[in-house]
Structure 1
C-alpha cells in the first residue's frame, strides 16, 4: 500500500530510459584503453556502494568514442552495474568533473529526462532497500550474478508527486552533505595522524617533558630479540573446537587494529588441563602470512588487563616483552605500525603466491626507543589523535544510520513532507 497521491510503477511505466553498453564489433580492445584521454570508459571498479570511484580509471580516444553506438552517460543519468557486483548505483551529477563518459557492457544507464521521476529522488530511491531487495531476488547466475534490461525495466517504484519528490530529495541531500563533510574530516584527520607518526616515531619532532623542556638525547636502537621472546598461538585445534568456550583473538582483529579490540573476540573450547599459551597485558601479536609482502607481519598490542584467560589464534604468534615496566606497550604498538618499521618487516616476507614471516628473522630487526617518559608522551599524543578519529567515525556511523532510518519512512510515504519543506 502507498499513501494517497502516490503510485507504484515499474521503471518502464515511469518512462525511465534504460540503455546498456555497446557490445558490437567496435567494443574497445585492451590495446585501445589509455591512462588518460578523451572519454572515460567506466568499469565495474568505478561504480561502488558509495557511488562513483575514480581512483583507477581508463580512457578511450575521441575516434573510438564516436564509433561506439550506445552507452554514453549524460548528466543526470544513473549508472547501474548488471554483471558481477550487480546492483551498484552511481549518479552523474554536478560533482563529477569528466565531460565524456561511457559505460562498458556490464552496466546500464538510467535516464530520467523523459520520466515522471526527478533524478535526485530516483537516485535516493535506487540506494534504498526497496530496490536492493528486488535486485537481489531477480539477479540470476551463481558464479557471476546478472541483470537483464527486461528485469531492470520491471523493477517497481513508489512514486509521489513531483513536488514531494523534490522535497524528499532535498531533505536527504542535507544528510548526504553532513556525511560527506564527516568523511572528509576523517580522511584529513588520518592524514594528519600519519604525518604526526612519521615525525614523532622517527625522532624528527620532539615533544616537551614535564618541566616544559623539549626532549633531547639519542634514541637507542634495540633488536626485538633483546626486548622480548615469541610464543605460539593455539595448537591441535580442529573446526569442531571453535564457536564456544574460552575467548581467543582472531586473525583479523590483529590485522586491522594497532591495539586489540577486546570487544571483538571469538571462542574456542580449551580443556582445564590443556596446555595452551594465554595472552597478557603488553603482549604484541604478529600475523604470520598474507597475500602480499606489504601486509606480512601486521602487529597489534593488547592494552587491557583481563581476569579471564584469552588465547591467540593459530595463524599468528605472540611476542612478550622481557621488562614491561621499561617500555610503553602503546608506543611499541605505534612504532611497529610506523612506515619505516613496516618496510623492515615487509622485506622479510618469503614466498611466491602467499608470503610468510619467519619469527627468527623478525627478532633480528631493530627499533629505536627514546626514554620511557618520551615514549609515554608520544603514545599519549597519538592515542588522543586516535580518539578524535574514533569520535568522527562514530558521528559518521550515527549520520548513516539516521539517513537510513529517514529513507525508510520518507521513501515509503510513512512520513510525509509538508509545503514548507519540513518533515511532518
Structure 2
C-alpha cells in the first residue's frame, strides 16, 4: 500500500475571486459559471448555459481552464460553504461569478482533477470546512481559511484509478436520472 501524503491546499492551488457583474450584463454574451452551477455539480457541465456580457480582458482574467476548481465563497450556513465543482476541460471565453472562488493548479502530477472533485465533497473534507469556517451573518470562504486547509492524497496513479471509477459511476447515475425524469414526464 502506498503512503498518503499531506499537502497544504494553498501550496497546490492559487485562489482568485470571480467577476463582479451587473444585471445589464446577464442573460446574453459569453458562457458564464454561476454560483448554482458550482453548488449543484461535482463537475462543470459540458456547456455553461448561463450567459454574461464580458470583455476579452475579463474573459482572460476570469478564465476557466481544465483542472480549475470552483468553490462557493459565501453561504447562509457553514455546512453549505465551499461546495466545489471541477472543470474537466477549457471553456473558451467563459467567466465565473463573483460568488465563487477559482482555485487554479500550480503544479501537475500531484492532484488528479476527477479524484479531487469527490475528495472535496467527501465527509472528511466537508467536516474540515465546517471546523475552519467562521459564521457572522453569512459563512465565507476566503484566503485565511484556504491557508489552513490540507489535502491528504494517495499517489497520483491511485488517485487516477479512484477518480476515474467514481467519475464513471457518477456519469451512470446522471444518465439514469435523465432516463427516470423522461419516463416520469
Separation in 1 of the partners of 2:57 and 2:13?
27
Q: Aligned in 2, Cα 1:232/1:329: closer, same or farther, shift over 3 Å?
A: same
Separation in 2 of the partners of 1:271 and 1:226?
31
Matched with 2:55 is 271
Q: Which among 175, 178, 183 is matched to residue 394 of structure 1?
A: 178
1:218 and 2:3 matched: yes
What are structure 2's unaligned runs of at least 5 residues? none
1:9-62 deviation per Cα after TM superposition (whole angstroms, max 9, x unaligned): xxxxxxxxxxxxxxxxxxxxxxxxxxxxxxxxxxxxxxxxxxxxxxxxxxxxxx
Separation in 2 of the partners of 1:276 and 1:364?
26
1:260-293 deviation per Cα after TM superposition (whole angstroms, max 9, x unaligned): 1133431111223456321100000110111111
1:289 and 2:74 matched: yes
SS in 2 for 1:398: helix
1:367 and 2:122 matched: no
Separation in 1 of the partners of 2:9 and 2:19?
23
1:254 and 2:35 matched: no
TM-score by length of 1: 0.42
Deviation of 1:310 after TM superposition, in Å, equals 1.2
Matched with 1:354 is 138
Matched with 2:15 is 230
1:93-151 deviation per Cα after TM superposition (whole angstroms, max 9, x unaligned): xxxxxxxxxxxxxxxxxxxxxxxxxxxxxxxxxxxxxxxxxxxxxxxxxxxxxxxxxxx
Q: How large is the RMSD of aligned CA atoms in angstroms?
A: 1.6
Matched with 2:104 is 320
TM-score by length of 2: 0.92
1:141-199 deviation per Cα after TM superposition (whole angstroms, max 9, x unaligned): xxxxxxxxxxxxxxxxxxxxxxxxxxxxxxxxxxxxxxxxxxxxxxxxxxxxxxxxxxx
SS in 1 for 2:98: coil
SS in 1 for 2:61: coil
Structure possessing the higher relative contact order (Cα contacts under 8 Å, 6 or more residues apart): 2
Number of aligned pairs? 184
Deviation of 1:253 after TM superposition, in Å, equals 0.5
Separation in 1 of the partners of 2:130 and 2:65?
26
Separation in 2 of the partners of 1:352 and 1:233?
22
Separation in 2 of the partners of 1:242 and 1:370?
41
What are structure 1's unaligned runs of at least 5 residues? 1-215, 402-424
Q: Is the 8 A contact 1:227 1:322 kept in 2?
A: yes
Separation in 2 of the partners of 1:326 and 1:309?
28
Separation in 2 of the partners of 1:327 and 1:269?
33
Q: Is the 8 A contact 1:230 1:359 kept in 2?
A: yes
Matched with 1:309 is 93
Separation in 2 of the partners of 1:259 and 1:227?
19
Q: Is the 8 A contact 1:220 1:370 kept in 2?
A: yes
Matched with 2:160 is 376
Matched with 1:239 is 23
